[in-house]
């Protein structure tokens, strides 16, 4: 039992059973994963684009890829040694990353506020749409989540007492995080700011601890840096083309940044606020009816004043830094909606820390009951909503999302024609990563994917293979070029590979070229 639990008024036996502990936590997360993964796998006609991407890249283990660092691909390769490689494995890995971060989230909250408040905020966070409707996404954002969570947990542990193990864990988390996505540097900034806030420069142990963490992180990240040097900094060039240096006016930057912030706080997080709001409203009402003043589960007495600043740091600083980039402070950046994935759950305690009295009511018996009711209602409605807008749901609610892409039907139509023309099975399919990868997954021979018809982005295909392999390419088109046939409306295919493989749907201005990918 934590100090916060000890100082709080005991709950009735029945209500105490609603509070998560070390045995109930994995049970809740397991049931949650089972419910959502089964629905997500059943509804989607095609796996998420990010999962397909990892299943393409895993054909060659590298120290980096043209878009991102390598850790998610390595994890998939390691998991493939003990389980069949395919979309179901990526679904499990994505869920493990997201829910593993939530487990750490609960442990940190418990250390600061006790199990009751940790229970309420975990239930709320599990309602954020990035974490339930995308539980099957296995990408760099979700793999970064546990690394960020470890950094938060270890920073709090260091706030209570010095620990060489905590500094070493931060170094490992930062190093592996940088092998996942460079955005983890935001966590490094938060750690640095907290190091300054706590005046740890005055303590030799913390100075050496910080140096230890930096050394460990650099040693882990160094091979990727060497890879970047030898590959002309490919991921940075990709980022430059897709997100950096966009030509927006100041007014357009402000509008886009405000929309991005609103999506973070008022769209993705809205179901979580509904759980917290319903819990606070019911707990406050019950407190007034009983005439009893709730007892605040206090933080650990070793740091009675800084816990609010700790939450404000991790809940708001990454968000504000990203928004600053979007506003053009230093460089122009087109903010992507999914960039908040690894940090969004930490915004919940930060918002409550703006008004600490809210924690008073979250620790009551009424709050525990209300939180579970609100959680179940929100999850039930979200499950129904996702089903209704999925390919298995109501056709009138078709959203045109990537999950509607009929990859199996199209592969079944295309593959026999291609095999007949090639005189054998398809060895390589060239084209846009999403389309070519989806078709490859659905073909029995699982041909390798030549991304955009560019060997430099596809290290799993050797120059010798390109000379001798049976290859087809798939590309968007309004009119058929020589030797091509229609694959489906707006898309054609033909033997071999050419610059056509690099075309995007907008390049040919075909409104029916490709289903929407969503903001993966």
SS (H, E, C) 35-51: HHHHHHHHHCCCCCHHH
Residue 238 burial by CB count (10 A; 0-12/13-18/19+): exposed, middle or buried?
middle
**b/e 211-230 (16+ beta carbons within 10 angstroms → b):** eebbebbeebbeebeebbee
DSSP 135-151: TT--SHHHHHHHHHHHH
Q: For helices 185-197 and 164-178, give the axis angle rounded to 10 degrees.
A: 150
Cβ neighbours for 259, distance < 8 A, ≥ 6 positions apart:
none
Nearest to 180 by CA among 90, 74, 51: 74
pLDDT of the residue at 334 = 83
Which sign, positive or negative, has the C-alpha torsion 198, 200, 203, 206?
Answer: positive
What pLDDT, on the 0 to 100 scale, is given for residue 57?
97
Residue 304 three-state SS: coil
What size, in residues, is the chain?
A: 520
DSSP per position, 178-211: HTT-GGGHHHHHHHHHHHHHTTGGG-HHHHHHHH
DSSP string, 59-126: TS--S--SSS-SHHHHHHHHHTTTS--SHHHHHHHHHHHHHHHHHHHHHHHHHHH-HHHHHHHHHHHT
Pairing of strands 485-488, 491-495: antiparallel
pLDDT at 270: 97
User: Six-digit token pair at 156?
Assistant: 């709090």
CA–CA gap between residue 341 and residue 345 (Å, rounded):
8
- Residue 331's pLDDT is what? 61
- DSSP letter at 344 equals G
Best CA proximity match to 340, nearest among 130, 175, 191: 130
Q: How far is residue 476's CA from residue 470's CA, in Å, rounded to a whole number?
A: 21
Alpha-carbon span 375 to 388, nearest angstrom: 20
Q: How far apart are CA 412 and CA 83, in angstroms?
A: 26
Which residue spans within 385-433 are E strands per DSSP? 428-431
Ramachandran angles phi, psi of 111, nearest 5°: -65, -30
Long-range contacts at 257-261 (CB < 8 A, ≥ 24 apart):
257/323, 257/326, 257/327, 257/335, 260/322, 260/323, 260/326, 260/335, 260/337, 261/319, 261/323
Model pLDDT, residue 3: 40
- Name the 3-class secondary structure at 241: helix
Integer Rg of the chain from CA: 25
Rounded Cα distance between 382 and 394, Å, is 15
Query: Which residues lie below 8 Å from residue 288, measured CB to CB, with a gap of 6+?
Result: none
Tens digits of pLDDT across the chain (520 residues)? 444 544 555 555 457 889 999 999 999 999 999 999 999 999 999 999 999 999 999 999 999 999 999 999 999 999 999 999 999 999 999 999 999 999 999 999 999 999 999 999 999 999 999 999 999 999 999 999 999 999 999 999 999 999 999 999 999 999 999 999 999 999 999 999 999 999 999 999 999 999 999 999 999 999 999 999 999 999 998 888 777 656 677 788 888 899 999 999 999 999 999 999 999 999 989 888 876 666 555 555 555 579 999 999 999 999 999 999 888 765 668 888 999 999 999 999 999 999 988 888 898 889 999 999 999 999 999 999 999 999 999 988 888 889 999 999 999 999 999 999 999 999 999 999 999 999 999 999 999 999 999 999 999 999 999 999 999 999 999 999 999 999 999 899 999 999 999 998 877 754 333 443 334 3
SS3 362: helix
> Given this model, what pLDDT does residue 251 score?
83
Residues 497, 429: contact at Cβ < 8 Å? no
Per domain, the residue ranges of the chain are 3-234+252-388, 405-508
Query: Residues 352, 277: contact at Cβ < 8 Å?
Result: no
């Amino acid at each position: 039992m934590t100090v916060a639990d000890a100082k709080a008024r005991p709950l009735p036996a029945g209500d105490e059973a609603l509070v998560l502990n070390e045995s109930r936590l994995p049970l809740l997360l397991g049931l949650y994963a089972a419910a959502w993964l089964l629905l997500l796998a059943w509804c989607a006609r095609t796996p998420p684009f990010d999962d397909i991407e990892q299943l393409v890249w895993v054909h060659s283990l590298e120290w980096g890829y043209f878009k991102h660092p390598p850790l998610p691909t390595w994890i998939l390769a390691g998991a493939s040694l003990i389980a069949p490689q395919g979309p179901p494995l990526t679904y499990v890995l994505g869920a493990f990353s997201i829910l593993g971060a939530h487990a750490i989230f609960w442990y940190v909250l418990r250390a600061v506020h006790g199990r009751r408040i940790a229970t309420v905020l975990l239930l709320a966070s599990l309602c954020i749409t990035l974490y339930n409707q995308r539980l099957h996404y296995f990408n760099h954002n979700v793999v970064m989540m546990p690394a960020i969570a470890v950094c938060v947990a270890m920073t709090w542990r260091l706030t209570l007492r010095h620990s060489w193990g905590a500094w070493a864990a931060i170094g490992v988390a930062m190093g592996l995080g940088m092998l996942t996505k460079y955005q983890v540097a935001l966590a490094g900034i938060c750690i640095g700011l907290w190091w300054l806030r706590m005046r740890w420069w005055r303590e030799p142990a913390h100075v050496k601890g910080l140096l230890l963490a930096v050394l460990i992180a650099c040693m882990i990240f160094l091979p990727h840096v060497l890879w970047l040097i030898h590959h002309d900094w490919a991921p940075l060039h990709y980022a430059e083309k897709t997100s950096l240096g966009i030509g927006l006016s100041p007014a357009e930057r402000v509008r886009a940044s405000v929309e991005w912030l609103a999506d973070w706080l008022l769209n993705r997080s809205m179901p979580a606020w509904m759980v917290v709001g319903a819990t606070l409203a019911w707990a406050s009402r019950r407190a007034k009816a009983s005439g009893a003043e709730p007892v605040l589960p206090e933080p650990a007495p070793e740091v009675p004043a800084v816990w609010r600043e700790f939450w404000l740091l991790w809940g708001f600083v990454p968000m504000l830094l990203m928004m600053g980039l979007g506003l053009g402070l230093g460089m122009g950046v087109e903010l992507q909606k999914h960039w908040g994935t690894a940090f969004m759950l930490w915004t919940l305690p930060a918002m409550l820390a703006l008004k600490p009295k809210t924690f008073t009511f979250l620790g009551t018996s009424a709050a525990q009951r209300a939180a579970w009711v609100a959680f179940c209602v929100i999850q039930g409605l979200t499950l129904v909503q996702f089903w209704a807008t999925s390919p298995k749901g109501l056709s009138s609610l078709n959203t045109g999302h990537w999950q509607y892409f009929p990859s199996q039907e199209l592969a079944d139509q295309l593959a026999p024609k291609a095999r007949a023309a090639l005189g054998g099975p398809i060895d390589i399919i060239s084209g846009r990563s999403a389309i070519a990868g989806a078709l490859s997954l659905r073909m029995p021979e699982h041909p390798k994917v030549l991304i955009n018809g560019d060997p430099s982005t596809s290290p799993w295909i050797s120059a010798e293979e390109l000379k001798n392999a049976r290859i087809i390419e798939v590309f968007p088109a309004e009119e058929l070029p020589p030797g091509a046939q229609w694959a489906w409306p707006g898309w054609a295919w033909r033997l071999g590979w050419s610059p056509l493989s690099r075309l995007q749907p907008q390049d040919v201005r075909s409104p029916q070229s490709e289903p929407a990918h969503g903001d993966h």
